[in-house]
Structure 1
Amino acid sequence: MTTEKTPIISEAELLAMPEEDYMNDVQLAFFRQRLQDMEKEILANADETTEHLRETVVVPDPADRATIEEEHALELRTRDRERKLLKKLQQALAKIDNGEYGWCEETGDPIGVARLLARPTATLSLEAQQRRELKQRMYGD
């Protein structure tokens, strides 16, 4: 699917679409573009981190050295979270390709445009996610 055939719309236009248009070509194109943009941003951040970590600065003061090491550790933790998100983004893009995007993995119900705008990698409807979280709290899963 190319974006030339399907125009990308705004969030407001997306939210204003009737329910029967759920996950039509226009909506799928919107979310594909959003997911691809997020993916590009994460990959760019990873490249910046690689460059940043390669820059070795010899700092004689132990306090300054500790600060730099802590900054590097924080940056690496952030990139690790982004690496996990990248995997979810790629899975969501695959779901768009196979026609499963926007539908709850547990119930088969629509996840909802508003929820997907807030979390484009969502795989569960709000109700199914709440049930799962409640179960995790109750049983410590």
Structure 2
Amino acid sequence: MASLASSDIDILEKAKRALAPDYLPDESEEYMSPAQQDYFRMLLVEWKRSILESASVTLQSLQDGPIREADLNDRASSETDWGIELRTRDRQRKLISKIDAALRRIDEGEYGYCEVTGDPIGLKRLIARPVATMTVEAQEAHERREKISRDD
């Protein structure tokens, strides 16, 4: 399973704090009630907005000019840092497509249900990873099959 990088988790936590703190989906409610769907929709939209905002800061830094350190070691270090930053932004670009897919699933009434088994994914898992498409069990089975086919 592709895990969320620490910067993605930080952005997700920031998005959760930006939402109204007076509501958190609860197991006692009907699963994927309108209130829960609204919560996840707002969370996903805020998460996407935060990622795009962070990406624009990176883009602005890139446009400000090339790396111009005189020392070769400093230049190499800066280039390495930029490479890491660009890989992070690429990972976040892929995450945005997962967020968009999750928003489509909310609109279609499929959000919160496993794409393999059709079972509820669960609120705790969705709160931790709002773009989840499978239950933990289905995800683990998928990863085992992936590992076996990779080992062949």
Q: TM-score, normalised by structure 1?
A: 0.86
Gapped runs of 5+ residues in structure 1?
1-6
Misfit runs of 4+, over 3 Å: none
Identical-residue share of aligned pairs (%): 42
Count of residues in Structure 1 that have an aligned counterpart in Structure 2: 131
- 1:139 deviates by 2.8
Contact 2:112–2:121 (CA<8 Å) still a contact in 1? Answer: yes
Pair member with larger Rg: 1
Answer yes or no: is 1:116 the counterpart of 2:126: yes
Partner of 1:23: 32
Partner of 1:66: 76
Aligned match for 2:51, one of 29, 42, 57: 42
Gapped runs of 5+ residues in structure 2?
1-19
Answer yes or no: is 1:133 the counterpart of 2:143: yes
Contact 1:8–1:29 (CA<8 Å) still a contact in 2? Answer: no
Deviations 1:73-106, CA, capped at 9 Å, x for gaps: 1110100110010000000001101111001111
Partner of 2:94: 84
Q: Secondary structure at the match of 2:132?
A: coil
Q: Secondary structure at the match of 2:26?
A: helix
Q: Secondary structure at the match of 2:69?
A: coil
Equivalent position amino acid for 1:49 in 2 = T
CA RMSD of aligned residues (A): 1.7
Contact 1:35–1:89 (CA<8 Å) still a contact in 2? Answer: yes
Question: Residues 81 and 54 of structure 1: is their aligned pair in 2 closer, same or farther, counting only changes over 3 Å?
Answer: same
Q: TM-score, normalised by structure 2?
A: 0.80
